[in-house]
Structures are given as structure tokens and as C-alpha cells.
Structure 1
Amino acid sequence: MKTIQNISDFKRKALHWANQFEVSCFLDSNDYKNAYSVYDFIIAADVRDELQYSTGNGFDQLKNFYAKHKQWVFGYFSYDLKNGIEDLQSNNPDGLNFPDLYFFVPKYLIAFKDGKAEIILGDQSILGEIESFSFDDRQQSKAVQIFQRLSKDQYITKVEALRNHIHRGDIYEINFCQEFFAENAEIDPIHTFEALNHISPMPFAGYFKVHDQYILSATPERFLCKRGSKLTSQPIKGTAKRSSDPKEDNAIKLQLRNNIKEQAENVMIVDLVRHDLTKSAVKGSVKVDELFGIYSFPQVHQMISTVSCELNPEIHFIDAIKNTFPMGSMTGAPKVKAMKLIEEYEVTKRGIYSGSFGCISPDGDFDFNVVIRSILYNAESKYLSFQVGGAITYQSNAISEYEECLLKASAILKVLGG
């Protein structure tokens, strides 16, 4: 352990140091304190072994990979792993072509907590290497021309069609998303991530580089974490814009807290998460720790609920992840029917978007985010993509939902110069 004087300087140097390797993962809480995070930030770099999977049941492959190493592993789950869990398909176009699942055992692992840096994997000399690491600090990204996959009219037409499904009783709620994209995009991924993390610092932010493929994430949402025998999920449903005027901002926050429509959306997903957790829980242990909590971030206020349970000792913790995947906040209810309609009405394959990335420790604890508010970039094909969406219920107003999408996209558009 070493006490670090200039924490922000060390964090930047560590990120750039890790970026010199073909594979690296940086997870940053941005100093949001919560009861479930073990470290302030953690950086994994270089590969001792890796697992890449694109068909069938990736969760079983991960189980074998973890059993082989019993070591820290970092990685991601694509939304399309749903096809190995349920009888579903993903046939929409995909410009990114990321694997459905990727995990690696790092050679180097640096964790940071309360002003102290700790080398978990690797030689202690790495700290000195990081502190003396120099990098080019000039912004190298050009402004990127962003296009929308759906026009405003197309989006509104689809939302109205989904409201008809709700009216008929096919579903209660659905998370409907649209893609923003750029072709022939040339960005500097690490500087783009730093800009995004600066303008929109979030508690589950992360930078994940796998060769030429990048996840640059400013996500506010935790999918699932395990601490000892306790599983915790924190679904987000309910969004309101911030105001620079403190009085107005507080009024908006209060309005969100008491908004019946937002509460209805939130409680539907809380019920879905509760149902998903019962598949892995000790009987009677599923509980709602917080309902309709309002949390403030730079661009938005969010309504976040917390649901937890005790993990049944007969259930493997990776099966507990599988039993709740994909996360209810990004699907809808009932879950399978909502995912079928997502495939029918959305026009882009989700891939990593609305999937998850994070890490698993040697004792089987884990923490995974929800991949939203994130830029996905394939440097080889120069294809850049991000998606935004929201919960559609029968009470939804299509124009308001469209405007909420633009609000959620605002930080990324600003970073990319759009």
C-alpha cells in the first residue's frame, strides 16, 4: 500500500499506463460513496488468460474459466447472451461486431481506496512506473458527425405501436432504444473517455479496451453485485433534467420523486428484479431496501431502487448473474415478450449496449454495471455507436420520450462535438 498525494494525477497516469497494453479495464466510482463498492477505482492491465465467446451459453464457459483460475477476472456480458438463456434471436444489423462475452485474467491489478494505492497483481515497482509515466496530453480526436438510425417521426410511430401492444395486454412496459452512430470515425478513445468522465462523472464509469474494441462508459447504474452471500441490484427508472438554478433544481427533484408515472415505471421493474432474484435466493430473503430513491448526477436526476437477497448456497454465483440477465431495467415486463418486441421494433443489434461489464474477485464477489450512456467504438472498422432509450408504458407520451432520449444523449454528443 502506498499513500498517494495527487490522486487525480495518479489516476490519469494509471489509466494511460494501462492503455499501452492490448487489453485493459478501468472501473471508476468517481468518489460516489455507496455501501457496496469496495474500491474507489481499480485498473486491470495485460492478459494472463482470456475467454472470448459469441454463441450458445457463455455463462457456462465463464464458470469453467473462473474455476480454472480462481483469480480476479474482468469482462463484459453482451445483451445478446439472452439468446442462450431464452428462445430468442438477434438479427438486427451490427456495426460494431464485439464478441458476446469477453473476460480476462490480468497480469497487473492496481486498486485504490481512501488515498492509498495497492498492487493486487504484479510487482510493487509498478507504482513507481505509473507515477513517472508520461503521455501525450493533447486532444487528438476530431469532431465526429453523428447520425440517428431513426428519425423523430419513425421513433414516435414505433412508440405508438408499442403503446398499442401494452393496450392489448401483450406487455406492461418495454425499454425501447435507438442508435446514434458514426462511420469512418477517428477518435482517440482514451482522451474521449476522459472528456466524457469529466463532463459526466458517474459511479459506475469505466474504460474497457479489448484490442481494437472500446467501451467508454459514463453509466450511473449498477446491474448486480455480490458481497459475501448478499446479492444487490439497483435498477434505474425515472429521469429528470437538472437546472442551474438551485431552487428550480430542487423543485424538479421533488417533482420526480412524486411523479406517479415514473413511480409506476420504477415499481414494475422492481417487481421484475425481485422475481429474477428469487431464482437464486434463499427462500423469503428477497427485499426492497430502498424504493424510489432520488439521486442527482451532472445532467440528470434519477429514480433508483435497491433490491437485495441472500444467495442460495446451492446456486453458483455465475448462475445468479445468468438468472437476472439481461437486467430488467433494459428489457421490460413480462421480460421474454418485451425482448421479442425489442427485437421486432428496434433496428440495431444492441450488442454491448444494455449489457454489463465489471469484475469478479478470487472469493466470488463481483460488481457489474449496466452499459448505458456509453460510447462503443471499433477502431479497426472506425465505427462508433451509442444508444439511448427509455421505458415505454401506456401513459408514455412519445414526444416526451424522444426528448428524454436526447437528454440522455447530451453528454456524449457534447464530448463528440455534435
Structure 2
Amino acid sequence: MIVPVNDLLLFKQKALQWASSFDAVCYLDSNSFNDSYGKFDTLIAIGIRDEVTASAGNAFDQLETFRQNNPGWITGFFGYDLKNEIEQLSSSNPDGLHFPDLYFFAPQHLIVITGDKAEIISDNSQQVLDSIDQQKLTDHSVQPAIGLQARFSRQEYIDAVTGIQEHINRGDIYVTNFCQEFFAEHARINPLAIFTQLNKVSPNPFSTFFKWKDNYILGASPERFLAKRGSKLISQPIKGTAKREADMQADELVKQQLRNHPKELQENVMIVDLVRNDLTRSAKQGTVETEELFGIHSFQYVHQMISTVVCELQDRLSAIQAIKNTFPMGSMTGAPKISSMQLMEQYERSKRGVYSGAVGYLSPDNDFDFNVVIRTLLYNSARQYLSFHAGSAITYHANAQQEYEECLLKAQAVLEVLGGQK
């Protein structure tokens, strides 16, 4: 069933409000960003027809079986700690969220919005449309402020970066992504209200509202992890961040400085090399190429340096295997990949969980698209635990003070929405 949508924002708000009453919902919004690899503007998967929950060990095999049994639309998430299944790694840092490492569901209802039309895929499409039309939007403009605590003080963070750079000096690693958690205990929030406000304050091309029972992923991610379009795989790692300026001329200068900044270029090219290497595991020989290098893309608060790496997928290699071959994404690990992940387990003070993982979908034609879970609030409403991670790339030339400020810059939209400070 395809219906015209006169007021796109209103329709999406009503649809999401209705969807959020179900045990599971995955809302993916491109926020009208121009994306040559996007298949739609918004996707809303609603209700559980079938599901799979798995922990690191044989999670990808379980998902492979689930996919075979559910060849239509499925949506879900991969947690960062699936690394422990792929490599000889472990995770022992504290975890306040207790999310599974992997969760996917086949929806009862699906809404795909493209332009000014919505396709409703359901056993009773008219009932879905009527339920959406009947929604009376709740006013969520006033929310109690939530103050986030930090796992690291500024000085502790700087000391940790100094320690990491000693490993770089010794040649143990070249670059890594060092992450810190901001969190709140006994936190009571309205997840739908928080996401609505976050998506308004910081609209991004891979924004996500994901609910699974008491667990929520509220994301404003600008980054694509991996997509499949036909036989083509696409990865778009982000490395390089600069704060936007209100003045147009000053903002343009910031863009030029980012485009020519030696450290940011070094970070980006090292991760591009890593992504190219990861893609070779799934690619037909000789097809891996960098489609765009050092592209500058502008968002609400920041300019980002984004590169695009593509390849042709090997014949008979499954979509799930292609994802596993590149997971976790290089932009959130470092190089060499395994050494960086091992080292960050020593320096970080919290389990990453879904942060640094991916949320997305597989479609009936076996295409897929997954984001990188960054700029994202994670919330366990049963435990009343709220978590937000921020990270930055540490290289030989990194300035610890500036990297700390970059973490705060990445947290700016979330802090604004929560109304509190770290």
C-alpha cells in the first residue's frame, strides 16, 4: 500500500509515536541528506514477527540461520564486543547497560518513506495507516535535566592519552580510537521525547531510534559503516572533525583548515588503508578502490572528513559474512586493528557494548545498510542507566588537550538535549 504524505514531519512523528508502543521498533531517518547510496528517506520497522538474540561466540552463525528463515526485511544491531567472536579478544570493563551483543527482528509492519510517499508493508496496511492518523502528538518540550558523570577527569584522560602515545612511540600501534563514557544512574527519561529533540537539534543522515523491550538506542550518527547495493560494498569511514562557526567566512576557513590539517589527513588515510584491507576479505580480486578521499561534509555542529571505499562482492559470499569480515569498523578501532582493540581494553573504563557497533537493516533483495553507533545515547529503562560514549583518534601527533575538547564537541548535541553538563 503506497500513500501520499502531505506533511512529512508530522507523518513521521505520528508514525514513530505509534510504533514506540510496540516491544520492538527500528526507526532509521536520513533527514533528507543527499546520499547517492541511500535507498529511501526513512524506514520504520514495527513489532516482532520473529527475533534472534545472541552473545559473542556463535552470534554471526545464529544470525545467518535467522536470515535464511526470514528472507524479507530484518533490522537490528551488532554490538562492538562481537570482536571477541571474530578475534582472540575479551571484554572485562564495567557494563551498566547489559544489552545483548546482537539483536535482530523481522517486523510485523514496515513503513518505507521516499520523497512524499509512504509504502506500508503489513498484513493490514489500512489499519496501520488509520492508527497513525489517529495519533495525538504528546508535547515533550519540557524534560527534566539529566546530568552526566564522566569516567575520566580531564587530567586522567590526558594521562591516558600520554600512555597510549608511548605505545605509538614504541611501534605497538599507529593510531587508535580512545573512548570515554559519560553516564547517569537512576535516570528517568522519555526516550521518544529525547530522540525527537536530538534529531531536531542534530539531524544526521544515519539517525536512529531503536527500541527492544526496555532497551533504547537514540542516535544522531553521521557515519555509514557498511552498505551493500547489488554486488557492490560501500564503506565510508569518518576521521577528522572540526567545530563549525556561525560566521560564514569563518566557517569556510575552518573547512579549509580541516581539509589541509596534517594530523587529520594522517588519521583518515590510515583508516582508509585499514578499511581497504578489511574489504579485501570480501572483494573480488582487484576491485577495492577509494572512490572519494578526504571529502569534507558539513553537519549541524561539525565538519567531518569522510572517505568512501568500495569493492565488488565475491560470488556466493553471504551478506552476513561480508559484515563479519569488516567488523568492527576501522574508524572505531585503529591500526593495526587487533593490537588497537587489545590496548583500548586496558585504557578504557567501560564496556563499549552497542557503542562502536552498528544499527541497520537487510532488505528482501539482500542489500543492507548499517551505521556506526556514535553520537548516540543508550538507555536501559529497567536499570535506569543512561550511557553516552565519545571517542577521538590518538596518533603520534595528537594533542591530548585538543582530543579531550573534541570529545566534548561530539557530545555537545546530547548534552544540550539532556539539559545537563558532564
TM-score by length of 1: 0.99
Residues in 2 aligned to 1:135 and 1:409: alpha-carbon distance in whole angstroms: 28
SS at match of 1:218: strand
Residue 194 of structure 1 corresponds to which residue in structure 2?
196
Residue 39 of structure 2 corresponds to which residue in structure 1?
38
Cα displacement (A) at 1:325: 0.2
Match of 2:327 among 325, 328, 332: 325
CA RMSD of aligned residues (A): 0.8
Residues in 1 aligned to 2:164 and 2:265: alpha-carbon distance in whole angstroms: 20
Residue 59 of structure 2 corresponds to which residue in structure 1?
58
Is residue 239–residue 302 contact of structure 1 (8 Å, CA) maintained in 2? yes
Residue 253 of structure 1 corresponds to which residue in structure 2?
255
Match of 1:366 among 368, 374, 379: 368
Residues in 2 aligned to 1:138 and 1:412: alpha-carbon distance in whole angstroms: 16
Please give the per-residue CA displacement for 1:111-165, whole angstroms capped at 9, x wherever unaligned.
0001000012342212232122223223463111210010011100010111110
Residue 101 of structure 1 corresponds to which residue in structure 2?
102
Residue 412 of structure 1 corresponds to which residue in structure 2?
414
Residues in 1 aligned to 2:352 and 2:123: alpha-carbon distance in whole angstroms: 36
1:166 is the counterpart of 2:200: no
Residues in 1 aligned to 2:230 and 2:269: alpha-carbon distance in whole angstroms: 27
SS at match of 1:180: strand
Please, which runs of 5 or more residues in structure 1 have no aligned partner?
none
Cα displacement (A) at 1:97: 0.2
SS at match of 2:125: coil
Give the aligned residue type for 1:162: I
Cα displacement (A) at 1:286: 0.3
| Structure 2 counterparts to residues 376-391 of structure 1, below 5 A | 376-391=378-393
Residues in 2 aligned to 1:114 and 1:216: alpha-carbon distance in whole angstroms: 24
Residue 181 of structure 2 corresponds to which residue in structure 1?
179
Residue 87 of structure 1 corresponds to which residue in structure 2?
88
| Structure 2 counterparts to residues 341-352 of structure 1, below 5 A | 341-352=343-354
Residues in 2 aligned to 1:51 and 1:168: alpha-carbon distance in whole angstroms: 43
Is residue 231–residue 310 contact of structure 1 (8 Å, CA) maintained in 2? yes
Cα displacement (A) at 1:315: 1.6
Residue 71 of structure 1 corresponds to which residue in structure 2?
72
Cα displacement (A) at 1:387: 0.3
| Structure 2 counterparts to residues 288-299 of structure 1, below 5 A | 288-299=290-301
- Alignment identity in percent? 57
Is residue 140–residue 191 contact of structure 1 (8 Å, CA) maintained in 2? no
Count of matched residue pairs: 418
Q: Which is further off, 53-62 or 1-10?
A: 53-62
Q: Which is further off, 224-233 or 47-56?
A: 47-56
Cα displacement (A) at 1:55: 3.3
Residue 401 of structure 2 corresponds to which residue in structure 1?
399
Residues in 1 aligned to 2:322 and 2:98: alpha-carbon distance in whole angstroms: 27
Residue 220 of structure 1 corresponds to which residue in structure 2?
222
| Structure 2 counterparts to residues 243-322 of structure 1, below 5 A | 243-322=245-324
Give the aligned residue type for 2:21: Q
Residues in 1 aligned to 2:145 and 2:24: alpha-carbon distance in whole angstroms: 26
Residues in 1 aligned to 2:239 and 2:123: alpha-carbon distance in whole angstroms: 40
Cα displacement (A) at 1:413: 0.5
SS at match of 1:56: coil
Residues in 2 aligned to 1:6 and 1:140: alpha-carbon distance in whole angstroms: 24
Give the aligned residue type for 2:373: V
Residue 211 of structure 1 corresponds to which residue in structure 2?
213
SS at match of 1:24: strand
Give the aligned residue type for 2:245: S
Residue 241 of structure 1 corresponds to which residue in structure 2?
243
Residue 151 of structure 1 corresponds to which residue in structure 2?
153
Residues in 2 aligned to 1:68 and 1:146: alpha-carbon distance in whole angstroms: 42
Cα displacement (A) at 1:359: 0.3
Please give the per-residue CA displacement for 1:352-394, whole angstroms capped at 9, x wherever unaligned.
0000000001121000000000000000010000000111000
Is residue 44–residue 108 contact of structure 1 (8 Å, CA) maintained in 2? yes
TM-score by length of 2: 0.98
SS at match of 1:377: strand
Residue 15 of structure 1 corresponds to which residue in structure 2?
16
Residues in 1 aligned to 2:394 and 2:6: alpha-carbon distance in whole angstroms: 47
Is residue 56–residue 81 contact of structure 2 (8 Å, CA) maintained in 1? no
Residues in 2 aligned to 1:408 and 1:134: alpha-carbon distance in whole angstroms: 34
Is residue 158–residue 404 contact of structure 2 (8 Å, CA) maintained in 1? yes
Q: Which is further off, 120-129 or 384-393?
A: 120-129
Please give the per-residue CA displacement for 1:46-102, whole angstroms capped at 9, x wherever unaligned.
000110012302111100000011111000000000000000000000000000000
Give the aligned residue type for 2:66: F
Please, which runs of 5 or more residues in structure 2 have no aligned partner?
none
